Amino acid sequence: MEAPVTTTPVINVEQEKKEILNRYRGLLRSSRRKFDEDDKKLIRKAFNVAVEAHKDARRKSGEPYIYHPIAVARIVAEEIGLGATAIACALLHDVVEDTDITLKDIEGMFGKKVASIIDGLTKISGVFDASSSLQAENFRKMLLTLAEDVRVILIKLADRLHNMRTLESMERTKQLKIASETLYLYAPLAHRLGLNNIKTELEDLGLKYTEPEIYNNIDQKLKDTQAERARYIHRFIVPLRQVLLEQKFKFRIFGRPKSVYSIWNKIKNKNVPFEEVYDIFAIRIIIDSPPEQEKADCWRVYSIVTDFYYPNPDRLRDWVSTPKANGYEALHTTVMGPNGQWVEVQVRSERMNEVAEKGYAAHWKYKAGSQQGPPEDPLEEWLRKIRESLSNPDGNALDFIDDFKLNLFADEIFVFTPKGEMRSMPVNSTALDFAFDVHSEIGAKCIGAKVNHKLVPLSHKLNSGDQVEILTSNKQAPKQDWMNFVVTAKAKSRIKEFLKEERTKQVDAGRVELLKKLNHNKLDHSEATIKKLAAFLKQSDLSEMYYRVSMGNITNKEIKDFVKVKDTIIEGPKEPTKTLEQLVSSKRGKSDFLVIGDNLDNLEYKLSPCCNPIPGDDVFGFITIHEGIKIHRVNCPNAIELMSNYAYRIVKAKWTSQKLISFLAGIKVIGIDKIGLVNSITQIISNELNVNMRYISFDTNDGTFEGNLMVFVHDTAHLTALMKKLEKVDGVIKVTRVDTNQ
C-alpha cells in the first residue's frame, strides 16, 4: 500500500503582498484620530520594519505572521482609539522578541519612548527560579512599565484579544492555558481600564475555549430566543420613545443582550436555568447632552422611564454622581416591564458611552478637552495605586499577581477622611486598609480607628459614607494576623514588607544568640557543627533555626542534649532533594501525557477533592511538590488559576476504559416533599442501577426538600444515567452534580 502523498499548499506571494497592503490601508482608514504628516511617516516606517522583520514567519494557521501585528494595530486604532505612537508600537510589538532586531536598533530608529513601550511588551528571556511562574513574571514586567506608560497595557490587551480571536488553530492544551490566563488576568484588567467591549469579548472567548459545551449551549439559546426578545424590546421601548421625542431629547434607545459569560455567571451563582435568568438583555438609552446638562438630563430620562414602569428600589445604581474607579458613568435601574418581567435600563450620555466603550483613551480625550475636572481622576488614582504597589518589585511574582487581582474586580465603597476628602476603597475594606491607603507609616503604627466618631478595632469593615479617623502609636508594629483582615493590595504588600524586615532582624539576632550558646557549651562555631545541630533539631533551613533561637523556642537544654549525641549525627540529608524543576521533568517524562489507568494504587497521582473528577470528565494533571500528581476537572473552580499561573506544571491527562473501579460523585436533588419520595430515590440508586451509596441526607422545609447524596459510579455516562432516572421521579424538580466532597 502506497504512503499517502502530502502536498504543501502553494503560496501566492504576489497575492499575499496585495493583501498585506490592503490590511495596512484598512488600518489607516479605521483610526479614530486624524494623522499629520509626521504621524503617517512614523506608522509607515514601523510597518516597513515589521514587514521586513517578519517576512519569513508564518502563524499556526499558515497565514503570513505580519497579519497579526497589523490586526493588533487595528484594534489599538479602532477599538481603543489610541494615536500614532501606539499604532507604531503595536506594529513592532513582536519584532524584538521574534527577530534579530534588538531594542537598541528600535531606539536608534524610533527613539526612546517607542523603545520603552516595546521593552514592556517583550517577554522576559533568561532562566527563572523554577518555583516561579513565567507568566506571572511577564505580567509583572508589563505592569512595571505601566508606571511609565499605560499604552503598554492597552497594546498588550489588543494583542491578547487578537490571539483569542484566532485561537482555533492552536492545540487544545495551548487553548486552555491561553484562555485561562485571559479569564484570570486580562479580562479583569480590561474591565479596570474601562474597556468594556474588550472585557466582554475576552470573557466570552475565554469561556468558549475553557467550557465549549456551556458556551455553545447558551449561545444557541440566545439565537433561538432572539425574535421573541426583539418583540418584547420593541413593546417596552415604544411608549418611552414617544415621550422622549415630545420632550425634545436627542437620543438613541435600543436593547442589548448580555454576554454569554455574564449569563453563565448568573446561572452558576444563582443556580438557575437559562430560562430563569431575567436580565438576559438591558435597555440602553443614550442621550446627546452638553457636559453641563448631562447629570440633570440623565435623571429626567430616569423619571420618564419610572413614569411607565415601576422601579425596584434596591436596584438603582447612581454612577453619574460617583463614577466607578475605571471612569464608568451611568444610571442603572431595574423596572417591572410588560408581562411581569424585570428589565434593566441603563441611561448615559454620548460622552459617558464613549468612555464606557473605549475606556482609558476616550477618558483622557475628554479630560484633556475640559478646562476643569475633578481634583484627581478616579482612573488616574487607580493607576497611582498600581504604581505604588509596584514600588516594591521584590518578592514572589505570584503573590504580587494575587494581590494585584484583589484590586482589579473589586466593587467599591466611598469613605471620607476627617477633613471630608473622599477616598475610593474596595468592598470589605477595613479600618486598617484605610490606614495604609492614607500612608504606609500610618498603617504600620495604626492601633485602631474612630468611624463616625465611634471607637472601632483595626478589623472593623467600612461602609460607604463612613468618616474614618485613624489612631496611631509609635510603639505599634505590624503583626502576622493583620494579613487576615486586610483586602487591599497596598496593605498586604506593605505588611509583608514589614514582617520580612522584622524577620531578617530576628534571624540576625538569633545567629548572634546561637553563637553565644555554642560558646557557653564549649562548642566550636564551624559550619559542620551548625549543620549537625540543624540536623539534630530537624531544621532543614538555617535561617528558620536562627529565628527559633531568637524567639526563645531553642534553649540551652536543647544545646546540652545535642552535646551528648553530636558525634553520632550524620550531617545533612542522605539523598539530595530535587528542585521543583527536576521534579517536574521527572514526573512529565518524555511524553508529557498522563494516562489514568486501571490500577490506581501503583501510580503517583490522586484525584483532587476540590472537584472529584471521574472517568469521562475532561481532566488534566497538576504536579504538586509533596503529593505527586493531582487530577483536576478542566472546569474545576481552581483550574483557571492553576493553568494561568503554573502552566509548566500541567500534564495532559486522559482516562483509559474503566468499568471495575468506582469513583465518588456528589448529587443534589431538589423537589416537593411527598410521601415515599426518599424511598423512590434510594430504590433507583440501589436496585435499578446497582449504585453504592456512601452518604445520604435529606432536609425538608415547608413542603420542599433538598437531598445530598455521595454515590460510587464508574464514569460520567454512569452518573448521567443515574441523574436522568432521578429527574423522572414524581416530585423531583432538579438534579445537579456537586463538586464538594462531604
Poorest-confidence range of 101-110, 177-186, 580-589, 609-618?
580-589
Cα–Cα dist 382/377, whole Å: 9
Poorest-confidence range of 235-244, 292-301, 592-601, 604-613?
592-601
- Return the CATH number of the domain spanning residue range 219-364: 3.30.460.10
Task: Indicate the pLDDT class of residue 126, thresholds 50, 70 and 90.
Answer: very low
Between the CA of residue 218 and those of 223, 266, 274, 701, what are the distances in Å? 9, 12, 7, 32
The more confidently predicted of residues 685 and 162 is 162
The whole-model pTM stands at 0.65
pLDDT score, position 575: 46
The more confidently predicted of residues 395 and 385 is 385
Cα–Cα dist 72/65, whole Å: 12
Which of 464, 195, 155, 498 minimizes the C-alpha distance to 317? 464
* C-alpha cell read off for 682: 434510594
663-738, CATH topology level: Alpha-Beta Plaits (3.30.70)
DSSP string, 136-198: HHHHHHHHHHHTT-THHHHHHHHHHHHHHHTGGGS-HHHHHHHHHHIIIIIHHHHHHTT-HHH
Q: Cβ contacts of residue 672 below 8 Å, gap of 6+? A: 703, 704, 705, 731, 733
pLDDT above 80: residue 405? no
Kindly report the CATH class assigned to 390-497.
alpha beta
pLDDT above 90: residue 538? no
pLDDT above 60: residue 601? no
Q: Look at residue 655 and give its three-state secondary structure.
A: strand
Cα–Cα dist 733/271, whole Å: 13
425-480 pLDDT, tens per residue?
888 899 999 999 888 889 888 888 888 888 888 889 998 778 889 988 888 888 87
Whether the CA torsion 68, 74, 77, 79 is positive or negative: it is negative
Q: Cβ contacts of residue 35 below 8 Å, gap of 6+? A: 28, 43, 84
Output phi, psi for 504, to 5 deg.
-60, -45
pLDDT score, position 272: 79
pLDDT above 90: residue 542? no
The letter for the amino acid at 149 is D
The letter for the amino acid at 300 is R
240-275 pLDDT, tens per residue?
999 999 998 898 998 888 899 988 988 887 777 887
pLDDT above 80: residue 482? yes
Domain 13-212: CATH architecture, name and number where available: Orthogonal Bundle (1.10)
> Domain locations in the chain?
13-212, 219-364, 390-497, 498-568, 580-655, 663-738
Name the E strands within 309-406.
310-311, 317-318, 331-337, 341-349
Which of 96, 124, 97 minimizes the C-alpha distance to 109? 96
- Computed on alpha carbons and rounded to an integer, the radius of gyration of the chain in Å comes to 31
Catalytic residues: 97-98
62-118 pLDDT, tens per residue?
788 889 999 999 998 888 888 888 899 999 888 888 888 888 888 889 888 888 888
